């Protein structure tokens, strides 16, 4: 039986893929007839480590360092990917959190007690980063005259609203709204655009949170499935949305969150 999750030889670009969820997404895509995976990370060595994993499993990949908050770097990254692997047919906007270099001052304080330096760290990577990458890949996607996939990783903070995460949640909500608009604009070219909203997931950034049993218990009392998300949980959904199995799905936001929030 044919692989219904096959990417049909499309080249994929995954941002922030040097660890955690992005790493697993890159590994998933590489294993399903991907024409090659461009593994992006701010830190070159992390991207190269994931590329080695993909190659060891028989896949094709390249490491490409870039800061997604810098549009010129993003354009250069997309051009290099096209030159070495081919035009991007699957874009996964995964880079997030507070960016590669979070501000040292003001973190953890109410947003009204800090200023643009802290706000822009969240907005830059989670909102402008998505605009930058989509803007850079769309011309090549259209020129391919073949189905394209855009997938944006957001957070339930952007759907549910979390105290203390107002700017981050607002940036993620903006990315989701932008992705819905992109879906309407690009559908005529056979390009779909969807978002995946995630909740508490086990990644290097959440190690400390998951190391405290009492904190874990309190955290997951609000979840239907009372365990942390794993990178594989998110990668499974991304693979589906990147494949032809999802060819009639666009403009949607899919919660992969253990039932923390429910989709209506």
Is residue 256 helix, strand or coil?
strand
**Over residues 247-253, mean pLDDT:** 97
Is pLDDT at 264 greater than 70 in this prediction?
A: no
**Over residues 90-99, mean pLDDT:** 91
The total of other beta-carbon atoms located within 10 Å of residue 104's CB is 7
Q: What is the pLDDT of residues 202-235, one digit of tens each?
A: 988 787 777 788 888 888 888 999 899 999 999 9
Is pLDDT at 117 greater than 90 in this prediction?
A: no
Tokens of 56: 């060891």
Q: 91: part of which helix (H) or strand (E)?
A: strand 88-93
Domains for the chain: give ranges and CATH numbers.
11-204+230-253 (3.40.50.720)
Q: What is the pLDDT of residues 56-84, one digit of tens each?
A: 999 999 999 999 999 999 999 999 999 99
**Whose structure tokens read 């991907």?**
34
Among 160, 168, 189, 254, the active-site one is 168
Q: What is the pLDDT of residues 162-189, one digit of tens each?
A: 888 899 999 999 999 999 999 999 999 9
**Over residues 20-27, mean pLDDT:** 98
Is pLDDT at 104 greater than 70 in this prediction?
A: no
Bridge pairing between strands 61-65 and 11-14: unpaired
**Whose structure tokens read 């609203």?**
161
Q: Give the separation between CA 9 and CA 67, rounded to whole angstroms.
A: 27
pLDDT of amino acid 73: 98
| Catalytic status, residue 168 | yes
CA 199 to chain centroid: 13
């Amino acid at each position: 039986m044919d692989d219904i999750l096959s990417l049909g030889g499309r080249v994929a670009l995954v941002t922030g893929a040097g660890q955690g969820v992005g790493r697993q997404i890159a590994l998933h895509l590489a294993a399903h007839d991907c024409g090659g995976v461009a593994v992006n990370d701010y830190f070159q060595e992390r991207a190269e480590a994931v590329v080695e994993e993909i190659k060891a499993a028989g896949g094709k990949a390249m490491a490409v360092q870039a800061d997604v908050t810098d549009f010129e770097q993003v354009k250069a990254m997309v051009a290099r990917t096209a030159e070495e692997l081919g035009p991007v047919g699957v874009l996964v906007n995964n880079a997030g959190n507070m960016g590669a270099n979070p501000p040292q001052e003001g973190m953890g304080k109410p947003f009204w007690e800090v200023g643009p330096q802290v706000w822009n760290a969240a907005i830059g990577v989670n909102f402008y980063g998505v605009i930058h990458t989509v803007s850079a890949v769309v011309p090549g996607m259209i020129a391919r005259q073949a189905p394209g996939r855009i997938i944006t990783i957001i957070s339930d903070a952007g759907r549910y609203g979390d105290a203390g995460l107002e700017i981050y949640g607002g940036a993620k909500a903006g990315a989701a709204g932008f992705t819905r608009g992109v879906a309407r604009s690009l559908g005529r070219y056979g390009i779909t655009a969807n978002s995946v909203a995630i909740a508490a997931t086990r990644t290097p950034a959440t190690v400390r949170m998951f190391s405290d049993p009492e904190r874990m218990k309190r955290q997951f009392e609000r979840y239907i499935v009372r365990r942390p998300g794993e990178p594989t949980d998110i990668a499974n959904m991304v693979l589906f949305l990147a494949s032809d199995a999802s060819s009639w799905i666009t403009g949607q936001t899919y919660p992969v969150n253990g039932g923390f929030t429910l989709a209506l």
